Amino acid sequence: MLIHGVQIGGNSWDHHGDVKGRMVRQSAEVDTPVAALLTDLQQRDMLKDTLVVWASEMGRTPFVPGSIGGSPGRDHNKYGLVMWMAGGNVKAGATIGGTDDFSLRAAEEPIHIRNVHATLLDLMGLDDELLRYLHAGRYRRLTDIGGEILHDMIDA
């Protein structure tokens, strides 16, 4: 098994200020290239063997609370976030979980990040129970105390 990983970063999506202007600019910077990547992988019959993940380390509040650093922006939100995946045996069109009416907190099927990690590892053909590392004299798993694979996301 050969796994290659690529991480692409860009301007920060941490819009504490100028959320309207920055969101419009940054969305325009990624919409077409991401669509082109997925289309190209599909046309080359490589999408099924390539896992594409779009994620952030945390969510953002769904509202603009006022002036943060001089212009309206959003704050960090540890209670709900959105991520998407494509290819790599991910079930197309699957949606898991949901937020409250304000998009502030996970309300339907809250998912712990360790379950996302276990699922990502499984999609890459890796068993999180076998991946351990020594830390402070103790073997630890990448998913900490163990994660459950989100089978509803996987195309059987």
Q: Where are the domains of the chain?
A: 15-97, 111-156
CA distances from residue 28 to 86, 123, 134 in whole angstroms, order as listed: 20, 30, 43
pLDDT value of residue 122: 92
pLDDT value of residue 81: 87
Predicted confidence (pLDDT) per residue in 57-69, tens digit:
888 888 876 655 5
pLDDT value of residue 130: 86
Q: Identify the segments of the chain with pLDDT beneath 50.
A: none
Range 64-70 contact pairs with CB under 8 angstroms and sequence separation of 24 or more: 64/19, 67/17, 68/16, 68/17, 69/16, 69/17, 70/17
DSSP 116-130: HHHHHHHHTT--TTT
CB of 125 closer than 8 Å to CB of 88: no
pLDDT value of residue 69: 59
DSSP H/E element including 87: strand 84-87
pLDDT value of residue 42: 96
Predicted confidence (pLDDT) per residue in 62-95, tens digit:
887 665 556 777 888 888 888 999 999 999 999 9
pLDDT value of residue 70: 66
Q: Taking the CB of residue 60, how many other CB atoms lie within 10 A of it?
A: 20
pLDDT value of residue 128: 85
pLDDT value of residue 56: 84
pLDDT value of residue 66: 63
